[in-house]
Amino acid sequence: MSAQQAVYGMIREAISSHPRSLQKRIGPSEIGTPCDRRIGYKLLGQEENPRGDAWKPTVGTAVHAWLETAAQNANLAQVIAAGGQIEDHELEWVTEQAVTVGYLHDGTAITGSCDLYHRPTATVIDHKGLHVDTPIPTPAGWTTMGRLQVGDAVFGRDGEVHTVTRVYPVNMRDCYRITWSDGTSIVCDDIHQWPVEMKTRRYTEVLRSTAQLADDHLRHYGAASRPERVYRSRNTAPLELPEQDVPIDPYVLGAWLGDGSSWNGTISKPDDELFAEIARRGYTVSEPYGVGRNLTRNIYGLAEQTRIAGLRRNKHIPAIYLRGSLQQRLDLVRGLMDTDGSWNSARNQAIFSTTDKQMAADFMELCRSLGWNANNWEQTRQGFGLTVTAYDVAFNPHDHNPFVLPRKADKVRVKGSTRSRHRTIKSVTKIPTVPTVCIDVDAPDHVFLAGEGMIPTHNCVGLASLRDKKANGPGQQYRAQVHMYAAGFLMQGHPVEHVAINFLPQNGNLTDGWWWSEPFDMSIAAGAMARLREIEKKVRATGSVEGLPSADAWCAFCPFHLPGSTDLSAGCPGETPSRARGGFASMVEDNTQHTRRKTA
């Protein structure tokens, strides 16, 4: 057994015996789940389908344990400051308090452990992980949406650098994953807007929200016709950046990365034109030695340059080259393509091949920064008695030829096709709500680039939308959970005035987090419990989850989801949105309104 196997085995064993993994009964965190059927499974005690491991919740539990210790230390400091003359009920923080939030019809108590209670303000607090991680290309490299600040530089679809003028608070709304034809995908909320071209008789640019894209990104143009994809995103213009002071000429670096020795400054390639181009760039080239495809020449001074740049026996594209000027990035691509590239005339497509996965990813970034579509394909290849994993990056160049060598360059059609300048929206899929962030930029068209694919997207839709986002709060599941915890504290004799959810960043800084709070409302907790008891009556009467609606947007995350299942005792096949839509929202709202009328 290797050290890696031993370590991972130890971790998995610890996870499998962790209380989070052993929890079988339904608790406050699950009552607000927007899927009646999932709750039904838990009430019946049915086994969950194994889906990977519980590493994410284990990390979350570890962070919660650290936060508990931090609160206990704050209490200890309070005791020390008071010289030990302080009662437990005078301490500022109550941590991980077990509370009962209600009872089922059979008398079973619904219990849970609340993260935090702040005595001075009578506030019940729950911690949640916050992940705002959409990658954003910037002139300095990559950042994430959650880390952008006013004054930061981003790219517009014109390729120019623009400035972030406003960053709005994190919010929780219905979310979707948009996937394009090149495999690029971005998670965003329902009101985020996209500048897209819509297919009618001809393509016309329109501004559409994510929810609108979800509704009609596929259309039937006849009763028997196959659905056609309606929207496409135009590629960015080449990124306009100043020339960088780079240690090695970009073309020469590309050629060396492709066919050079990682030990020195030699390049093996039977192409005189390649070395003529290197010489044209100011390098002295030795006479060739070797035979056939191993014909090798020494590039004088290149060995020292690669050593200083940290590339000796460490071939990679330095970050400074990925943000070089247009000409520098194009030269780097041409050096790589003249050595490790080819042209597929049948598909009018260029192909770069490498066995280095990171090199392939960086090459795709170069292509996208030039406004070209690029796809990465993993291949298994054999040669010289070896079997290796290779990565082929296929792209459609336009406006610029990706080769210098005449035998390759002469095959290329640089005019490009419509397909090479656009990416079609392939799917728009609803997913569980995640935190999202909105920004404003000073680009004339209010568009900036987002995601690894550098997709043009519109900035925030305005203050009206911001007010709408704030009004929606953290989502019904989290909101119901924290109000139920508050009800449990109230039943234990603690005064409760407010509830709060502390969304903590999983990356970035603490200031990237989001604090949500509202006055405690007993009817919300009561409404959630009333919904639970209604579901309980149905499953106890039938002994199954038959007839309960499901919320299919949660299926991918559900431990009971078993696509294609015809036996609901084995697993849930999921439902269509139209059938699922009435289950969660309407029942909670009805029960909440009923409870409010009773308490009034």
Cα angle at 420 between 460 and 428, to 5 degrees? 45
How high is the pLDDT of residue 587?
36
Mean pLDDT of 585-589: 38
Cα–Cα distance, 101 to 528 (Å, whole number): 10
Contact 529, 483 (CB under 8 A): no
Cα–Cα distance, 3 to 410 (Å, whole number): 52
Contact 425, 217 (CB under 8 A): yes
The pairing of strands 498-505 and 123-130 is parallel
How high is the pLDDT of residue 131?
57
Contact 442, 162 (CB under 8 A): yes
How high is the pLDDT of residue 418?
61
Contact 29, 112 (CB under 8 A): yes
pTM of the shown model: 0.65
Cα–Cα distance, 43 to 568 (Å, whole number): 14
* Other beta carbons less than 10 A from residue 381's beta carbon: 12
Least confident of 114-123, 161-170, 300-309: 161-170
* Other beta carbons less than 10 A from residue 228's beta carbon: 12
How high is the pLDDT of residue 152?
94
Asked whether the predicted pLDDT for residue 149 surpasses 50, the reply is yes
The pairing of strands 161-167 and 153-155 is antiparallel
- The closest of 395, 373, 478 to 435, measured between CA atoms, is 478
Tens digit of each residue's pLDDT (9 = 90 or more) over 460-501: 654 333 343 344 567 778 889 999 999 999 999 999 999 998
- The closest of 170, 150, 171, 174 to 162, measured between CA atoms, is 150
Asked whether the predicted pLDDT for residue 582 surpasses 50, the reply is no
How high is the pLDDT of residue 514?
74
Phi, psi of 394 (to 5 degrees): -100, 135
Fold of 3-129+471-599: Lambda Exonuclease; Chain A (3.90.320)
How high is the pLDDT of residue 23?
59
C-alpha distances in Å from residue 97, one per residue of 68, 93, 480, 492, 517: 10, 10, 18, 10, 19
Overall size of the chain counted in residues: 600
Percent of the chain with pLDDT over 90: 47
Give the chain's mean pLDDT: 84
* Segments in 413-551 forming alpha helices (H): 463-472, 476-491, 522-542
Structure tokens, 501? 């959810």
How high is the pLDDT of residue 203?
85
Rg (CA), the chain: 29
Asked whether the predicted pLDDT for residue 585 surpasses 60, the reply is no
How high is the pLDDT of residue 343?
95
Mean pLDDT of 527-539: 93
How high is the pLDDT of residue 581?
33
Tens digit of each residue's pLDDT (9 = 90 or more) over 50-77: 655 667 677 778 888 899 999 999 999 9
Among 314-318, 377-381, 416-420, which range has the highest average pLDDT? 314-318
How high is the pLDDT of residue 588?
37
What is residue 555's DSSP assignment?
G
Tens digit of each residue's pLDDT (9 = 90 or more) over 92-143: 999 988 999 989 888 889 998 899 999 999 999 988 765 577 889 999 999 9
H or E element, residue 407:
helix 406-409
Cα–Cα distance, 299 to 290 (Å, whole number): 15
- The closest of 474, 485, 556, 552 to 516, measured between CA atoms, is 474
H or E element, residue 439:
strand 439-441
Q: Which one has a higher pLDDT value, 402 or 23?
A: 402
Cα–Cα distance, 10 to 12 (Å, whole number): 6
Tens digit of each residue's pLDDT (9 = 90 or more) over 242-297: 999 999 999 999 999 999 999 999 999 989 999 999 999 999 999 999 876 678 99
How high is the pLDDT of residue 377?
87
Per-residue burial over 244-266, b if 16 or more Cβ lie within 10 Å, else e, is: bebbbbbbbbbbbbbbbbeebbb
Cα–Cα distance, 460 to 552 (Å, whole number): 28
How high is the pLDDT of residue 414?
76
Question: Please, what is the angle between helix 326-340 and helix 357-369, to 10°?
Answer: 140
* Segments in 281-325 forming alpha helices (H): 302-308, 319-322
Mean pLDDT of 175-197: 90
Tokens 């009561």 correspond to 526
CA 1 vs. chain centroid, Å, equals: 34
How high is the pLDDT of residue 553?
55
